[in-house]
Structure 1
Amino acid sequence: MAEAQLTLGPVYALWDGPKWRDFYFRIADEAPVDRVVVGETVCSKRQHFTEPHLAEVIERLEAAGKEVIISTYALVTLPREIKQVRETAEGSPYPVEANDLSALNFLKDRPHTVGPLVNVYNAPTARVLKSRGATAICLPPELPLDSIAAIAAGDPGVELEVFAFGRMPLAISARCAHARSKGKIKDNCQFVCGDDPDGLAVKTLDHQPFLVLNGVQTVSHTCQSLVGELGALRAAGISRFRLSPQDCDMVAVALTYRAVLDGRLAADNALAELKAIYPAAPLSNGFLHGREGAAYIAAARSA
């Protein structure tokens, strides 16, 4: 079985440039992750916040021995976005991660990875993507363990990765509900999403936490944590695990996952650590157990 590896996904939220840069500098220096996906994924209007720092972030990550992957947009609606995706796909000296079908079109026959925002629900789909150049696929976070195991057993010919930590990406829209909630429109949003570096909570009419807005993206209120299921996922043939950045100590998150994968920390203790590291959101694992995603299913204990 291949050695277990950790991937740090792209930052979905809008962080100001220095915070974004310093986050990745610390990841480079301290986090036990094998690869890092960088670049704007959610909204092309945010690109200018991080673009000035991208080269030095990549240099720092590479100097620390991390593999660097460049992200593409999850939704392309404008000609300039098409141009940017094409230029990234065709000109990047680093591997590129596709987050929608437009990027896949430009990446055809070029080695690339596929992110969790592309729907890959079975082994034949994975094999098609492999035939077009995909070398690794991060599966959507809503898949149950049985489906993940079936895809791995189908020998798709690519490395499979599972979304193991983070608020789950659920939807993305051409409209910006985040801006609208603050009395703005998308074309003149004034980047109000930057006021909420971990997203804007949405509650039901009964005032129950429900979802979180991140610009044009909707993510889960809960934070998926599969730290207790790493063993089962390994047994199913998964060797790559993705940590999605939240506004918390992601170095500590990575250290916790690495310790569990290496057998140095029990899952129960790891779960307690994660709750302390990221108290802003309840942890969940319902999707993996075939339940509602917001649920947390405790591991069965032997008598």
Structure 2
Amino acid sequence: MSTPTNPSKPVLSLGPVYYLWDGPKWRDFYFRIADEAPIAHVTIGEAVCSKRLHFIEPFVGEVIERLEVAGKQVSLASLALVTLERESQLVRGLVRDSTHPIEVNDLSALHLLAGRPHSIGPLVNVYNGATARLLASRGATSICLPPELPMTSVHGIIGENPGVDFEVFAFGRVPLAISARCAHARSKGLIKDNCQFICGEDPDGLTVETLDSQPFLALNGVQTMSHTCQALLQELPEFVAAGVSRIRLSPQDCDMAAVAHIFADAISGRRSACEAQADLADVYPNRPFSNGFHYGQTGAAWISVDAGAVARSPVT
């Protein structure tokens, strides 16, 4: 396994909003990202539930224009689960009509994009170097690795694929699973076909508790997410040394422009890992942070890195 001898600093990217936000809130969120956030690449679109598309469709054009005027690169997300012919048609139309790169979140889009440059989202299981090579051979120019991968796997995959840009999921509730059924609707006495878009009542996900009333997971429509928020700030030096190209932030219902500034400052060294972590807790309060997956342990765990060890591995 080779390690870059003079690694460059990664840039920040922003994944799609996984939650159901009403159209004006969704639009205004991206307008602020365009105007205030030090983010280089933004992926927009509906990845979780096709029924939500009509909320954001009227605003997609002006959001793309605002982001591009601000110098951001824009990609469009494909659905993470295609179960209906209507959804299959949506994916085909997206690939056929889009003038922007597509982020693949489900393998059903791959045959439509064969040979055409595209990116791979974190919802696709890229668990080894061979899979990454196969995807790159079919036109993938960047791959966001799954958030559950430990750093040892990240090192191995990047080391085996020097010509591919890799991205890591560094901030946000971790997307764990997606289903054809809507547990969010069922939890509120509704069914998927008549859900009344009840997931919109929980713009940051609906917390699921164990029988002992302990927070465990979160529901987001048909998607299951972690209760904790993955926050890989103290791990940034490792990503730089490994040659990671992008650090992905996943939108939560908080001040994401401030989150982006915190990560940008941590990458550049303007804030120490400890300072950045404390500032992040102020921006996104009352949500426990986690980094267990990074260390090959339980995903919800929080493992503190010795401040001296962090200082000995500066972001350069």
Identity of aligned residues (%): 64
2:50 matches 1:50: no
8 Å Cα contact 2:18-2:47 kept in structure 1? yes
RMSD over aligned CA atoms reads 1.0
**Kindly tell me: are residues 143 and 196 of structure 1, through their superposed partners in 2, closer, same or farther at Cα, counting changes over 3 Å?**
same
SS across alignment from 1:228: coil
8 Å Cα contact 1:110-1:132 kept in structure 2? yes
1:242 to 234, 242, 248: 248
1:139 to 129, 145, 170: 145
Residue type of the alignment partner of 1:29: D
1:276 to 282, 288, 292: 282
8 Å Cα contact 2:145-2:166 kept in structure 1? yes
Deviation at 1:106, TM superposition (A): 1.1
8 Å Cα contact 1:126-1:156 kept in structure 2? no
Runs of 4+ residues over 3 Å off in structure 1? none
8 Å Cα contact 2:9-2:240 kept in structure 1? no
Question: Which deviates more, 151-160 or 290-299?
Answer: 151-160
SS across alignment from 1:124: helix
Q: TM-score, with normalisation over the residues of structure 1?
A: 0.98
2:250 matches 1:231: no
2:189 matches 1:180: no
**Kindly tell me: are residues 84 and 156 of structure 1, through their superposed partners in 2, closer, same or farther at Cα, counting changes over 3 Å?**
farther
2:257 counterpart residue number? 251
State the alpha-carbon separation in 2 of the partners of residues 280 and 269 from structure 1: 18
Deviation at 1:103, TM superposition (A): 1.0
Residue type of the alignment partner of 1:41: A
Deviations, residues 186-220 of structure 1 (Å, cap 9, x unaligned): 00000000000001000000000000000000000
1:73 counterpart residue number? 79
SS across alignment from 1:51: helix
Residue segments in structure 1 that go unaligned for 5+ positions in a row: none
8 Å Cα contact 2:182-2:221 kept in structure 1? yes
Q: TM-score, with normalisation over the residues of structure 2?
A: 0.94
State the alpha-carbon separation in 2 of the partners of residues 302 and 76 from structure 1: 47
Residue type of the alignment partner of 1:244: S
Residue segments in structure 2 that go unaligned for 5+ positions in a row: 1-6, 310-316
State the alpha-carbon separation in 2 of the partners of residues 55 and 142 from structure 1: 33
State the alpha-carbon separation in 2 of the partners of residues 300 and 2 from structure 1: 24
Aligned length: 303
State the alpha-carbon separation in 2 of the partners of residues 298 and 105 from structure 1: 43
Deviation at 1:156, TM superposition (A): 5.1
Residue type of the alignment partner of 1:66: K
Residue type of the alignment partner of 2:124: V
Residue type of the alignment partner of 2:133: R
Residue type of the alignment partner of 1:109: G
